Amino acid sequence: MLGTDIVALEQLYSNRWARRLDKVCSLEEQKWLGQRPQPFLAFAQLWAMKEAAYKLGLRLGAPLGYYPKKISLQARTDGYFYCPLWNIYLSLKQTEGYLWAQAAEQLAGLSKIHYEVYHWPALALSPRLRSAALREELVQHLGPGQLIKDEKGLPFWRKKTGSSLIALSLSYDGPWASWARVIPAAADNS
């Protein structure tokens, strides 16, 4: 199981990110951010990881309702992060344009997540077209099938042949889009 999130850095910065502090961060986290050399970047990292943690938390049985202040994260000495609320591990990847967070049940599970990130500036203002483009990418990577969502809104890919479901994590932010899945074991044909 997995959870991911992508954050478009330029878009978050221009949307007055500091106004979101009270909604996303606990008082302790806000104090910590104030001590960082780059508070904006630290905030973006926290937000991406909390979103990824919540998506995996839903798969692990958490009720619907996103309350990011209740999701605490602990930095580990090996560069990874831990979320004690659901006993999950997280990592971050950063480029100039975006942050991408991923969450897995076990630390070793982070290396089994396959993901693709797309930059589609022309589709940024059309969520419908961006979703259609992402579905086309899923067909190219996973084969013919259908994107479905469960009762919590969690995405799965149902292959056209057979009834197996592939758990996915989808993320969109501005011109950025991503999808991810856990790489199946060698004996698994999904």
Please name the residues in contact with 90: beta carbons below 8 A apart, sequence gap of 6 or more.
49, 52, 53, 73, 80, 81, 82, 83, 101, 102, 103, 104, 110
Q: What percent of the chain has pLDDT over 70?
A: 97
Residues in CB range of 39: below 8 A, 6 or more apart: 33
Q: Provide the 3-class DSSP secondary structure of residue 183.
A: coil
In this predicted structure, the answer to whether residue 157 has a pLDDT above a threshold of 90 is: yes
CATH number, domain of 119, equals: 3.90.470.20
Q: What is the mean pLDDT of residues 147-163?
A: 92
Asked, for residue 190, whether it belongs to a domain, the answer is no
In a domain, 189, yes or no: no
Domain residues for the domain of 97 are 2-182
Residue 123 domain-assigned? yes
pLDDT tens column, 92-143: 999 989 999 999 999 999 999 999 999 999 998 898 999 999 999 999 999 9
Q: Does 188 fall in a domain? A: no
- Of 54, 19, 66, the residue nearest 40 (C-alpha): 19
Average model confidence (pLDDT) across the chain = 92
Q: Check residue 186 and give its pLDDT.
A: 52
For the chain, how many structural domains are there in total?
1
What pTM does this model have? 0.92
Residue 174 covered by a domain = yes
Does 78 map to a domain?
A: yes
Instruction: Inform me whether the pLDDT recorded for 156 exceeds 70.
Output: yes
